[in-house]
Amino acid sequence: MRFERCRELFGEDFEAIRRAEVLIIGVGGVGSFALDCLYRSGVERITIVDFDRYDVTNQNRQIGAEAVGELKVDVLARLYPGIKKIEAKIDNNWIDSFNFDGYDLIIDAIDEIEVKVALAKRVSDRLISSMGSAKRRDPTLIRVGSIWETYGDRFAKKVRHALRRSGFQGDFLTVFSPEEPSIKGKGSFVGVTGAFGLALCAKGIEKIIGDGKRGSDHNPPLQRGAGDQGDPHGAHEVSPP
């Protein structure tokens, strides 16, 4: 049977995984690997959203990128039969108008900070968000935690500041890396970007089956308060204003 080993691993929880409604926003170097992981783990109801076309520069890190010039959602829908696709530019207007009702899990694999903030303000209770995965080489340094507990990740720091400016007082889970960027340019390594996607998938499955705190370094919100201690880059700010 196709998912026999997943059923053996997750037991009775596999039915919850199979029936979960998952939305993946952005299917590039991170999101495409989250899609692959969820699909191979038995999730039957996956919707992907993107508007971009593959470029030759995507081929170092994105599943399906050999189809240069084609829409990402079209290619991935062929590679993963049964998923739903939405071709749309993911901006604040789309976030404001989209109906998120019915989705059990929403995976944010987009790059625009303002859009991430708009998304968090609407669906933080069901959200897992990717922070900065580019310019890094070591997947073993990837961490999982509250957005307010991220540290050593300049992109995450910008997201936190934007959330504060917007008045956001909630919380959501993130995948981030405190690894110091190796370069200042646009370099990326699939060993890290893909690992981000796999981590989003794994923590998403935990969230679906209701034990999102097991096996992670995520602390409950009431345990915040460490300030900037332990962050060599001065970015470990763990509580909103």
pLDDT in tens, 138-174: 999 999 999 999 999 999 999 999 999 999 999 999 9
For the chain, domain boundaries: 4-223
CB 124 within 8 A of CB 100: no
Q: What is the CA radius of gyration of the chain?
A: 17
Q: 240 or 133, which is more confident?
A: 133
Model confidence over 33-78: pLDDT tens digits? 999 999 999 999 999 999 999 999 999 999 999 999 999 999 999 9
Model confidence over 197-239: pLDDT tens digits? 999 999 999 999 985 334 344 433 322 333 333 343 344 444 3
CB 130 within 8 A of CB 49: no
Spatial separation of the C-alpha atoms in residues 95 and 179, rounded to whole Å: 30
What is each CA distance from 88 to 27, 65, 71, in whole angstroms?
12, 18, 11
Q: What is the pLDDT of residue 211?
A: 52
Q: 2 or 234, which is more confident?
A: 2
| Topology given in CATH for the domain delimited by 4-223 | Rossmann fold (3.40.50)
The two three-digit tokens of residue 238, written as one number: 């763990």
Q: Which residues contact 136 (CB under 8 A, 6 or more apart)?
A: 177, 179, 181, 182, 189, 192
Using the predicted structure, report yes or no on whether residue 9 has a pLDDT greater than 70.
yes
Q: Which residues contact 64 (CB under 8 A, 6 or more apart)?
A: 32, 54, 72, 75, 76, 79
The helix-helix angle for 72-79 and 31-40 (nearest 10°) equals: 20
